[in-house]
Amino acid sequence: WHMNESDERFIRLCNEYPRVAIGSCGDYDVKRPNLAVARMKDLIRHVIDEHGQPVTKLHGLRMLNPLIFTKLPLASADSTNVARNIGIDKAWSGTYAPASKETRAALMVERIESYNSPGSLAYCEQRDRFNMQLQLAV
């Protein structure tokens, strides 16, 4: 499911399948993490049980940014960030720059894995209600 698709489709997929992959695009691209999180929180609240846990496992595509996955109850997420950035030498300068691409990759993975996704949705209707106009104004 992609974030620019209908809410009803997301809710139906969550109720019919054991795992739903979520992709960002358009206005809700993960390059704008606050907007993506606001959209997802407002949707996930419709597919949680009495404990605030999603009724299906949610997988975030390109969502290993801690600004995203630490705010959403994702069962899993992926990204190409490590593969894309370990070879950019200018990003790894300074006295303590890792000498090899393998070390760079291990460092990036360790930084990502030092965070966790919450087990349940923290949603406040007044604070988290998604409003596209308000999101674009900020």
**Domain boundaries along the sequence of the chain:** 7-129
pLDDT of residue 22: 96
Question: Could you tell me which residues come within 8 angstroms of residue 101 by beta carbon, excluding any fewer than 6 positions away?
Answer: 86, 87
How many residues in total does the chain contain?
138
Which pLDDT score is estimated for 113?
86
pLDDT at 44: 95
Average pLDDT (70-81) is: 91
Among 12-26, 37-51, 52-66, 112-126, name the one with the lowest average pLDDT: 112-126
Share of the chain above pLDDT 90, in %: 43
Mean pLDDT, rounded, for 68-89: 85
Given a cut of 90, is residue 8 above it in pLDDT?
A: yes
Q: Which pTM was predicted?
A: 0.79
